[in-house]
Amino acid sequence: MSYKSPIEDFKYNLAMLNYDEVIAGIEKFKEYDSETLMSVVSEIGRLNEQEVLDSNKIGDREGLKYVTDGAEGPEVHTPERFKKLYDAVKSSGYVGATMPTQYGGGGAPFTTAILAGEIGIAANMAFYMGPGLSHGAMKTILKKATEELKDKYLPNMTSGEWMGTMCLTEPQCGTDLGLIKSTAVPKDDHYELTGQKIWISFGEHDLTENIIHLVLARTPDAPEGIKGISLFLVPKRLDDNSRNTIYCGGLEHKLGINSSPTCVMNLENAKGWLVGEKNKGMEAMFLMMNDARLKVGLQGIAMSEISYQNALEFAKERKQMRSVVKDKQDKDSKADNIIVHPDVRRMLMNVKATTEAMRALCIYTAMKIDLAEDHPDEKVRQEADDFAALMTPIIKAYCTDRGFLNCSESLQVLGGSGFTKEYPLEQYMRDVRITMIYEGTNGIQALDLVGRKLTMHQGRLLQNFQKEVQKFLSENKNNEEISSFIKPLENALNEVTASTMWLMQNGMQDPENALASATDYLNLVALSSMTYMWARMAKFSVGKNEPIHKNKIKTGTYFVEKIMPELTMYSKKVQAGKSSMMDMEVAEF
């Protein structure tokens, strides 16, 4: 297993996206210029490369222990090394880096969490799910809870002394949260919650003394469906350190992320406190869900990167067959390194070109989130928020679909060796597969894009994105040095416009047309967005002699010639409509 944090690519993206002016130019973040930011991220990189990385395989093999007869009830024991590792991560300031200084945080921009998060996920995805979810819980408490709750819980969560979770799913409801049955009965200054939650990541563990659960439940007078759900803060331990009545009822046995505890959580009159307004729990929870969805997309990117690095290392060392070009043959060997073979290059370039584009898009979206929250100009905040809202389902779905595919292609580079446990690629594939499912399946992300984001604010979200791309095209239409990127981007924008018009016309007449085309439409917009990122990278790098700039031009050229054409296929699939999908009767299957 090998991994080196992509520090140089991070630096490249910050420069290409003009981070120092756009984000560090905001008064709140003036101390976090790109140099300062990268010094923080580089330290986190060293910590993960030197201390966390080799725990990934150990955690996968060792797994978790569920103990039914613990001193205070059922317990979950994480792999032996995890407690020491968590203490090191906690001491680094990683957990609360982006939290306000008043609660002990670093006050860094959200962009920091994306850069540092990619490194942590690549080093040990299962381990970092705990701190990652905790960040979303802190953000939700910060935005929606009372001052009393914030003062009581955020300092210890920010320091990493306590961890947070998100408790949504129940046995009868996953996607359809309107079916939630858990109850919250008011009593004195709190509520008593009863019910069962399933698939709760880090619902119980031994890394922190306290775990702060954010739980969706219904009050006795709540209306039916989604409009009757409220959000509650339910701590594992109460103020007097006594155990609250929320317990782990068991662990799921999973394909991957085997050292991440996926828990059944039982609540029996557990004490909880309302977060936000009653019956507006989904509004509050979406703060955490949107944060989690971006982080899940980031998991796809991180696993693509580490898979690529391992496949590349193998391809440079493994010798098989001769190059068909005599000048490329190794005269001191009977075979050549497999990286000389075009089909191996195809797989490596597929992974490299998509990973770098996805990373750029994710960092750009993180910067938009920083603008949406902290820029002084309301118009800038609104436009940035629109961009982030549009891209969240795209990053979550496309980057995880592609992340799994990239892990598969990287494994394929190793041939039979990749299928064995001697190499880490098989674990990466098992681990990354869940990303296409949790925090809303990728099909649900596509429905969110087509059903909500396209129509939100009279279509403003997509229109603003189209205007941004069109502005870039207008400014660079005569730039001959990047014409090979401008024309593909223009074609991409036209395909998005045509498919969007088709959806608006045919989807409104027959909603099944929109639903049947949703996933293809998401892939279309994703590839368009990535083409836009490559066009911006080309403009930034053209004419520069440093190796990274020449590398970007070559990688981007591969993308627009070999990957971007998939976009036309998705456009045709969108406009094919539903008939071939829906005409068959159920009995005919």
Residues classed as catalytic: 439
- Encode 235-290 in three state secondary structure: ECECCCCCECCEEEEEECCCCCCCCCCEEEEEEEEEEEEEECCCCCHHHHHHHHHH
Handedness of CA 12, 13, 16, 18 (dihedral sign): negative
The CB density around residue 481, as the number of other CB atoms within 10 Å, is 13
Residue 301 bridge partners (DSSP) = none
Closest among 438, 581, 577, 579 to 521, alpha carbons compared: 577
Q: Amino acid letter at 483?
A: S
Among 308, 300, 316, which residue's Cα sits nearest to residue 399? 300
Which tokens sit at 462?
Answer: 């997509």
Q: Counting beta carbons within 10 angstroms of the beta carbon of residue 280, is it exposed (0 to 12), middle (13 to 18) or buried (19 or more)?
A: middle
Residue 30 phi/psi, 5-degree rounding, is: -65, -25
| CA angle in degrees (0–180, nearest 5) for 572-467-538 | 80
The Cβ-side half-sphere exposure at 31, using a 13 Å CA radius, reads 7
Give how far Cα 161 sits from Cα of 47, 149, 207, 388, Å. 19, 16, 9, 31
Task: Return d(Cα 454, Cα 127) in angstroms, integer.
Answer: 36
173 forms beta bridges with 170
Main-chain phi, psi angles of 156, to 5 degrees: -75, -30
534, two tokens = 């490559």
Answer yes or no: are the C-beta atoms of 215 and 198 closer than 8 Å.
no
Which residues fall within 8 angstroms of residue 438, CB to CB, at 6 or more apart? 199, 201, 296
| Separation in Å, CA 100 to CA 33, 136, 413, 573 | 17, 14, 45, 46
Through-space distance between the first and last CA atoms of the chain, rounded to whole angstroms: 44
Dihedral-angle region of residue 323 (phi above 0 means left; psi in -120 to 50 means alpha; beta otherwise): beta
For residue 69, count other CB atoms closer than 10 A to its CB.
7
Q: Please, which residues bridge with residue 192 across strands? A: 185, 271
Q: Which two tokens stand for residue 435?
A: 């990303």
**How far lies 521's CA from each of 51, 447, 454, 484, in Å?**
42, 10, 11, 24
